[in-house]
Structures are given as C-alpha cells and as structure tokens.
Structure 1
Amino acid sequence: MADIMDLARLWADHDALHVHGVAVSLLTEGPRPEVEHDEDGAVIRLRAGTTGATLLRLDVPLGDAVGYWHPAAGWDRHLVADWASRWRAVGLVDSAPLGCLYDAAGAALLAFSSDRVAATTRMRFGVAEPSARFGVWLAMDLLPGEHCRIRVQAPGRPFADAVRTLTRRLSAGDELPLPDAARTPAYSSWYSLHRDVDAARVEAEAALAAEAGCGVLLLDDGWQRHADGAGYSGSGDWSPDPAKFPDFAAHVRTVQGLGLRYLAWIAPLLLGERTEAYQAMKDFAPHAVPRLSCRVLDPRHAEARRFVVESCVDLVRRYGLDGLKIDFLDFAMVYADESVHAEEGGGRAGTDIGLAMRGLLTELRDRLRELRGDELLIEFRQPYTGPGMLSFGNLLRAGDCPADATGNRVRTLDIGVAATAGAVHSDMLMWDPGASVRAAARQLHSALYATPQISVRLAEQSAEHRAMTTFWLGFWRDHRDVLTRGEIRAGRPDQLYGTVVASSAQRAVITFYAEHRLAALDLERFTEVALVNSTAVDHVTLDIGGRAVEVGLDSSDACGRPAGSSVRTLAPGPHTIPVPPSGLCVLRPVPPKHSSR
C-alpha cells in the first residue's frame, strides 16, 4: 500500500472533521468517523471501510512546531518533509501508534494515540511544503465490522504530560505486577563478559555486584550450547553449555544465595542451523537473516508459538530462574507485510503478526506466572516497550548504546514518557577501565531516571572506580522514588533532555547534562535539592523563584568524597553554584535561629 500512496493522494481534500484544531480526514471509502469529546480531548471512532485498507489523515498548521516525537524516534526528532518520510509498520513488538508534534515551548500541537496497540498499523508523517501543514497518516487493515479509536489530545499541555495522558488511556488494566526487585540496580554480563561466561566467573562478579548494591543478575548470551558460532547460528536448543555450567541449577542457587534475583537471556524467535531444533522447526521459520546466521520463527504458526513458550517455561522451571531477558521479539515484524490465510485447525493465528504475538505472549506470561507468581521478572528492550507490552514485561530496557551516555539518557526518558507501568531500565552501563573516574561517573548519571544496569568487570575495577560505582548506586537507591516515580521535567525531545528535574514531596534532583544550562527552582518547596553535575565544568546555574532562602551547600566529588560546605542566601534570580565535575551538591534550607529568654 505504501508505494502507491503518492503525496497528491495523501494530501487530497476531503470532508474533514475538525477536532481541537486538528483536521481529521478519511481518505478511503467507509463510514464517516464519529467523534466523542471529553475533558482531555476527543475520541475518533473509525470503522472498517468496504474495500481494502482504511487510511486516515490528521493534520494541523505548522505554527511554531519544532519537532515530532514518537516512541521509535531515536535521533530523528526533527520535522521531516513529507516527501522524505516513509511508511513504518508499528504494532505490539515494534513501537506504538502514538505521536506528538510540539512547539518551541515544548507544548503539544498534535498529540494522538490509537487503541490498536497489538495489530499492525502503518504510519507516516511529515511537513507539506505548499500548505505549511504537518500531517500524520494511519493505515489499517480493519476487518468487516471492526473499528478502532484514535484519541486526539487537546493542545497546549507540555509534551510529556500530553503523551502520558494518552498512554494512561491505553492501559488495559492487566499490567504485569512489579516486584521491588524490578526497581533494584542490576548487573548484566553482556558488555563486561560477552559470551566468555562460566559459573566461576559469573559467581565472582555476582558477589561484587551484590556488595555494590545490585539486586538482580542478568546472564546474557553465551550460557547456552552452540553459543560459540557466528551470529546466532546456535540459537534454538536453549540448554546450558556443560563445559561452562556443569550444574546450571546449582549455579543459579549460588547467585540467588548472594541476594540477587537471576534472569537468563533467551532469543526464542531465532533459529540457527547448528542446533538440533533446526530440522524440526525450519519449516516454521521461512525468513532468513544472513547477517546473524539464523532464521526467524513465524509466530502465526501454532507450532512456532508452542516451541517458543515451551523453551522459555522449561528454562525457568528446570533451573529455578526468577525470570527471563527476552531478546529480538521485534524480529517478528519481518512478517508484518505478508498476507497469510488462516489454516484449518487453527494452524496459524490469522493474518496479523501483532495479534499472533499477543497470543504467544499471553500464553507465555500465564505459564510463567504459574511458576513465579507476582515475583516474575521479564525484561523487554526497545523497540518493544510500548503500552501494549506492559501486560507481558515489567523491565523495560533502553536499546543497546554501549558507552553512549547521551543515548542512554534519551532512550530511558523516552520510554518513561510512554510507560504507565513497569520499571524503566537503562542499557547496560560500560566504560573504559582506564578512563578518569569523572568520565565513568557520567555513564551512571545517564541512568539516574531509570533503574541502572551495570556491565563492567567489577573484579578488575580500580579502587577509585569501585568507590564511584558504589557511591552513585547508593545515591540512586536513596533517591529512587524521586528519580523514577516523581514528577519529571526534561524539556524538549529535540534538545535531548539536557537538564532534567525530578521532584516528589519535599525532595528534588536536578541533573545538568550540558554546560551553560539553567534550571528553574522554587527552593521554598523543598527540604532537600540534589544537584548532579554531569559535565566537565565546575559549576551549575539555578534560577531561583519565590523569596530568598538561606541554604547549606554540601558538595561531593565523583566518588562521593566531601568537596566543601558553605552557607549562602539565594535570592530570586540566577545563581552559579559550585559543583565538582561529575560531582554532587546537596542544598538544604538552614533552620531559622530562635532566640532564648
């Protein structure tokens, strides 16, 4: 469909509905959309047309638009031209039908979502040069009698508020329970050890991770048989390598005895030729991925779904795992453009890959909860961290960005904007063991507004790096609720969230990720304000509101060592506050002095 939709047709005049300044145009044959208004905006009820796909356009004048955000935006947060845009299939395991056009003040101009979070929707967006309008197109293969609801948010609210309101409306009410372990710093073996794992090495790292304050260990790729081959040619059998883990169950118990929950990595949709499973399952994995030396199981086949579920459940049950890190689920989208007819006996789950994945994940979740109940831990990573996935996973991790502090910050905050449940996790944090402690600390700062995952060789850390890691993990634990459940103000997405403010009750944390940024703060509201300087300069700038307040300032360096204390009166207006590079300064109001008689 995407190839035949030229711009003339996409921008064709139609009898548009006007909803909060948004023109809503049905571009294909079908019943006229119905609109219901409420206190937050409006719902557009769209019913299936008589033939083919249903195509809807939402468009607004550009006005002061500066950027467009959606869950899979990555670095592309600019205003793309309509002719340079492309169609993208989104669904349960790849992004979500959700987006927000915003202005220079960060306020929403066009914020929308669709309740079609499982089945595939094809989306496109862009700026029209002749009309100076921004359009979003949604194409859906609605079945006869089927309908979907598109919510349009009233404009003017801050971008993040508008998106959170939309995603709350998408909540199905059956989110996977969130045990406290999901909100505990974790250790991952991937960047630190890659596939060079064995029981002794992992147990040694686990002991150090527990000492540093971690509560979860994630054993990544390399634990399984045939893991030494090219790409994922050994994926499919999912049994421990006996040379590395001669008694995997005993090893898991040892790590759990250190106080850590244990999750193992699995990529259950990938099928490699070097496995015993290949011959039995290759007919259900028609798509090959040469660069990864494997095939992708098609979950529309009942046989493929059964194989995936049994592989995951058996792994947890047999070895006493607390959960799984489930990888590459987005690869199922290679089948999104295929039209598959249902076979007799229910062999395939119909035409839509998202619905097939929903069936697979529902069965997997239910089976695993029979084993682990409300303490079950399941990690998903971008791009399959959208609202529809909250029923199946509770650790929502940023996509891979090794040693990229900016990428980690942007990815975690993006997930947090759209997540109404679960715990947002950073990508695994790694740094050069020979780097300065200030540079290493900035990696931890990138994960402050998520749950941090550490992935460095702790046994080889210098004493200074170990002190830094322990200090910042301790700071995170002490401020966890402020950082991950407080009110977050992060600014505009196209400015990559250069200054982030989190507040809850009478505590606040402000992190400066770029030099020469200013953060507005009313000190009268708080009994403690922590200023994190994730830059190479030795100060930050606050713009004080309200009345003058006398505060005590206590500074620490990147390792948490005291770096000076003072008392200042901060009157309304801008103030330069000395904070060591990669360090911390905590502000607390000085109690008024009382005279005695």
Structure 2
Amino acid sequence: MQNISSGGYTFTLTGGEEDFNVSLSLKQSATGIIRLNMKLQSDEPRTPGTMELTWKLPVIDVFASWHPGFYRNKRLRVDWENGFRSKATSSAPVCVLYGFQGNNKMTFAFSDALNPVELKAGIHEETSNFLCSVKLFQDQSSPIQSYEATLHIDTRDIPYEESLADVQRWWSTMPGYEPSPVPDTAKLPMYATWYSFHQQLSAEAVERQCEMAKALGCEAVIVDDGWQTADNARGYAYCGDWDVFEGKIHDMRAHVDRVHEIGMKFLLWYSV
C-alpha cells in the first residue's frame, strides 16, 4: 500500500507491490488541477494483479454524476455498487460529480483509455464521503515489465462541460490519442439509409435514394444496418466477420461503383 497527499486529498494505491516497484508522484496546478502519476517497473515481464487507486470527496453540493455510459441516468451511486468499465472499444475513463447549477465539483479521468479500467464514485453513507476509485488489471493481461499512467482530477468551480472539454484536450496531447483527421466530406450533408429502410434495404433502392439525395446536396451515403444479414431482429452476435448478405447486395463492388458514378462517397456501418 502506498499513500500520497495533495490539495486536501489522500490517494491510496493497493496491490502490485509484490511484483513491481511502484512509485507515485503528484503535481498540482495553481488553478486546482491535480495530476497523480503512477509507475510500475519490474526486472522481468510479469502478469500484473488487480490494483486500485482510491481517494475521498465530501458529499457537499453534489447533485448528480456523469460518465460516458450513463445515458440518461445521472443519479448518485453508493459505494457498494459496481463502478463502470472503460476500454478502447467502450466508453472512456472519465467521471464527473457536479452541483445543482451544473458546476463541477470533481472531474476525474485516467490517461489509459485503451486498456480495461473501472472507475467509481459511490457514497459511503456512514461518513458522507464519495469513495472514488480507479481499478486496474482486473482482466487477464499479457506480462509487462513497465506501466505508466496518470490520474487527472479537476475540482475547479466551473461548468462541468468545461472540465470535460479540458479532459478531452489533455487526452489529445498523448501519443496515439491525437484526434483523427476529419475528411472534408464528413462536414457536408450526408444521407443515411437507416431512417428510410432500417434493416430492410437493397442495392437498387439505395442507389435510387442516392440519386435524389445528391440532387438535394448530399455528398455521401452511409449504408446502415442490414447490409450484412437477412435477419431483422437487430442482433449482432452472429455477424462474424461482417460479410455482405448477397440477398440484398449481390455485387458490392458494382453497387459502390454505381454510387460513385452518382457523385457520392460510400460508407458502411459496423457495430463495434
């Protein structure tokens, strides 16, 4: 176990010390942003066990919480509930606790947005504190010799959307996290087949719609769900490698060519 304190918060890291040399360091800006850096180092590759970084926040003027997977449910959680998980293909490691006026009380984010991590902010009723945590290496992983990550904590009294925007900017400075370039076509009107066809589409029908959409100013089409299956139940466990269902699009190459002749770019929808 290791403890380190800054800005009135004490951070505790448990686990990992039996296999790795673990070090923690803190930086706090004049504006109130805390960055806690953790480093793991071993003399040989080892499979890490579960590690957890924890700290507390008093339940004062906290009205709701948010993270990318909350959808419409922004209620406050309790400490015995599960946290939310983030990885490269699902959600993102950031959580916000905010006040009634939408003011940020605490935004915390983790630099590792690729590997599975679990974040949590739950009320411990006996002490009226949020127990906040970031849990690492719960899933089986390959042996590693080193690992480094940073916890970002923002307690500035600003609109919480601004603290989230700063997290996005912070992530975008990291190698490999730079925002992808946006093609010019993506900034122009686009036709999506879902709203006309749902899963019941055909190459001929899509091409007719493209002709009309192009005349109205659309520069691209996204062929949505249905091109890969005859099923209309919207299930995806059986999709495998997402092969074209020839009962709807007999010749994908020819279909794409015809859309290009109309003057539109062509995209296919996938469920990740």
Q: Which TM-score band applies after superposition, normalised by the shorter structure?
A: 0.7 to 0.9
Q: What is the match of residue 12 of structure 2?
A: 25
Letter in 1 for 2:5: L
C-alpha distance in 2, partners of 1:108/1:155? 7
Distance 1:127 1:36, change over 3 A: same
C-alpha distance in 1, partners of 2:10/2:98? 16
- Listed as ranges, the matches of 1:183-222 within 5 Å are 183-222=187-226
Distance 1:81 1:234, change over 3 A: closer
C-alpha distance in 2, partners of 1:49/1:107? 39
Q: What is the match of residue 244 of structure 1?
A: 248
Structure with bigger RCO (C-alpha 8 Å, 6+ apart): 2
Q: What is the match of residue 54 of structure 2?
A: 57
- Say whether residues 1:326 and 2:263 are aligned partners: no
In percent, how many aligned pairs have the same letter? 23
Distance 1:65 1:219, change over 3 A: same
Counterpart secondary structure, 2:169 = helix
Partner deviation per Cα, 1:20-64 (whole Å, 9 max, x = no partner): x44422244644521022355121012349973221113211110
Partner deviation per Cα, 1:428-464 (whole Å, 9 max, x = no partner): xxxxxxxxxxxxxxxxxxxxxxxxxxxxxxxxxxxxx
- Say whether residues 1:155 and 2:147 are aligned partners: no
Letter in 1 for 2:105: L
Cα-Cα RMSD: 2.8
C-alpha distance in 2, partners of 1:183/1:39? 38
Distance 1:22 1:211, change over 3 A: farther
Partner deviation per Cα, 1:55-102 (whole Å, 9 max, x = no partner): 11132111101011111111221111223x213331111111111111
TM-score (norm 1): 0.39
| Conservation of the 8 A alpha-carbon contact between 1:227 and 1:234 | no
Counterpart secondary structure, 1:236 = coil
- Say whether residues 1:36 and 2:23 are aligned partners: no
What is the number of residues matched between the two proteins? 252
Distance 1:25 1:238, change over 3 A: same
| Conservation of the 8 A alpha-carbon contact between 2:214 and 2:263 | yes
C-alpha distance in 2, partners of 1:145/1:35? 19
Distance 1:250 1:39, change over 3 A: farther
| Conservation of the 8 A alpha-carbon contact between 2:23 and 2:40 | no
C-alpha distance in 2, partners of 1:182/1:22? 44
Counterpart secondary structure, 1:149 = strand
Match of 2:67 among 67, 70, 76: 70
- Say whether residues 1:165 and 2:161 are aligned partners: no
Distance 1:228 1:76, change over 3 A: closer
C-alpha distance in 2, partners of 1:74/1:52? 31
Q: What is the match of residue 102 of structure 1?
A: 98
| Conservation of the 8 A alpha-carbon contact between 2:225 and 2:270 | no
Distance 1:89 1:237, change over 3 A: closer
Distance 1:33 1:246, change over 3 A: closer
Distance 1:23 1:156, change over 3 A: farther
Letter in 2 for 1:59: K
Letter in 2 for 1:129: E
Distance 1:140 1:261, change over 3 A: same
C-alpha distance in 2, partners of 1:216/1:112? 38
Match of 2:184 among 171, 180, 183: 180
Distance 1:39 1:227, change over 3 A: farther
| Conservation of the 8 A alpha-carbon contact between 1:122 and 1:138 | yes
Counterpart secondary structure, 1:166 = helix
Counterpart secondary structure, 2:112 = coil
Match of 1:227 among 227, 230, 244: 230
Distance 1:238 1:39, change over 3 A: farther
The structure with more helix, counted as a fraction of residues: 1
TM-score (norm 2): 0.80
C-alpha distance in 1, partners of 2:96/2:11? 15
| Conservation of the 8 A alpha-carbon contact between 2:199 and 2:232 | no
Match of 2:120 among 116, 120, 124: 124
| Conservation of the 8 A alpha-carbon contact between 1:194 and 1:220 | yes
Partner deviation per Cα, 1:1-26 (whole Å, 9 max, x = no partner): xxxxxxxxxxxx9855133x444222
C-alpha distance in 1, partners of 2:16/2:156? 29
Q: What is the match of residue 253 of structure 1?
A: 257
Distance 1:18 1:186, change over 3 A: same
Distance 1:58 1:180, change over 3 A: farther
C-alpha distance in 2, partners of 1:192/1:125? 42
Letter in 2 for 1:124: K
Distance 1:92 1:57, change over 3 A: same
C-alpha distance in 2, partners of 1:39/1:87? 30
Counterpart secondary structure, 1:119 = coil
| Structure 2: unaligned runs, 5 residues or longer | 43-47
C-alpha distance in 1, partners of 2:195/2:163? 36
| Conservation of the 8 A alpha-carbon contact between 2:52 and 2:133 | yes
C-alpha distance in 1, partners of 2:92/2:242? 31
